[in-house]
Structure 1
Amino acid sequence: MPNISLRGHHLFCLLGYRGKGYSDGFCTNMTAVYETLRRDPQTVIEIREGPDMICAAFPSDQPNHCHNPSVYRKDNEILGELGLAVGNKLSWEELVGRVAAAIQPDDIGRLCHDCPWEPYGLCREGVAHIRQAKALRALP
């Protein structure tokens, strides 16, 4: 996976990822992306609009939310907070630096208030960790 395309809100989802997700196939894909970024923070990320390589593994037997207006809202607001736009290409390490400089853990509640994963606090923890360590954690 030399280059990875991500939509805005998945930048935060990756920080909070702890090996759990919508299905085994989804987790296999998400873990592969996560481990690529953890092991090689110089991996180039291309910011895209709409479904990305994480969405591609969303299980077909569940209601798909990848095109919901609320998801596009999250993408746009998060990119705005980070000073990014669709089409930008930068390393994962640079993205982590932007998150660490611009986002506080409590910002997750505001930006991701309508995400079903938000109440678990994983992304808040992920932002707190990235602000301190500037690198992804090993998965449990």
Structure 2
Amino acid sequence: MYRLRGHHLLCLLGYRGMGYSDEFVKQMTNLHSALRENSSTEIELVEGPDDLCAKFPDDKPCHCLEQTVMKRDAVILERLGLQVGEVVSWGEIETRIAYTIWPSDVPSFCATCPWLSYGVCEEGVARIQNGQGLYPVSTS
């Protein structure tokens, strides 16, 4: 089981192998691969820092507890009809995303995100809506 905060549910959709550090990328790639391979993987929804935040590099300004990030988490969970403390499968999360979030929602949810300009999260939402699942990312 993985512990994830609300906005990381969308970050996973846009993940293409980029990140804040080698250790963060390794953690994100491992999680992403596990979810891609097994949609029944359970996710515990948490408030604040999660399993991905744990690998955020110490030498970069940490944003994990910023109010804009916490608000982003809450808005996304609310849209998905989920609550902190729930345990749900990744497949259930994908289904909820497919029916409740549109690519055009991402800029309003994630207006302050430094990764927004890449456009990959919007593409990831579209993939989920089209039944394509998570984007393939090389683990090598």
TM range (shorter): over 0.9
Aligned CA-pair RMSD: 0.8
Contact 1:100-1:134 within 8 A present in 2 as well:
no
**Aligned-residue offset at 1:119:** 1.2
Detail structure 1 runs of 4+ shifted over 3 Å in the superposition: none
- Give the fraction of aligned pairs with identical amino acids, expressed as a percent: 49
**Aligned-residue offset at 1:82:** 0.5
Query: Normalization by structure 2: what TM-score?
Result: 0.96
Runs of 5+ consecutive residues of structure 1 not aligned to the other structure = none
| Partner in structure 1 of residue 17 of structure 2 | 19
Name which of 96, 114, 117 aligns with 1:116. Answer: 114
1:18-72 CA-to-partner distances (Å, cap 9, x unmatched) read 0001111110000010001001110001100000000000000000000100000
Query: Normalization by structure 1: what TM-score?
Result: 0.96
Question: 1:133 aligns to what SS in structure 2?
Answer: coil
Looking at structure 2, the residues matched to 35 and 130 of structure 1 have their Cα atoms a distance apart, in angstroms, of: 15
**Aligned-residue offset at 1:137:** 2.3
Q: Which amino acid aligns with 1:35?
A: S
Contact 1:4-1:53 within 8 A present in 2 as well:
yes
1:75-133 CA-to-partner distances (Å, cap 9, x unmatched) read 00000110111011110000000000000000001111111111110100100111102
| Partner in structure 2 of residue 63 of structure 1 | 61
Runs of 5+ consecutive residues of structure 2 not aligned to the other structure = none
Q: How many pairs does the alignment contain? A: 138
Contact 1:74-1:111 within 8 A present in 2 as well:
yes
Contact 1:97-1:134 within 8 A present in 2 as well:
no
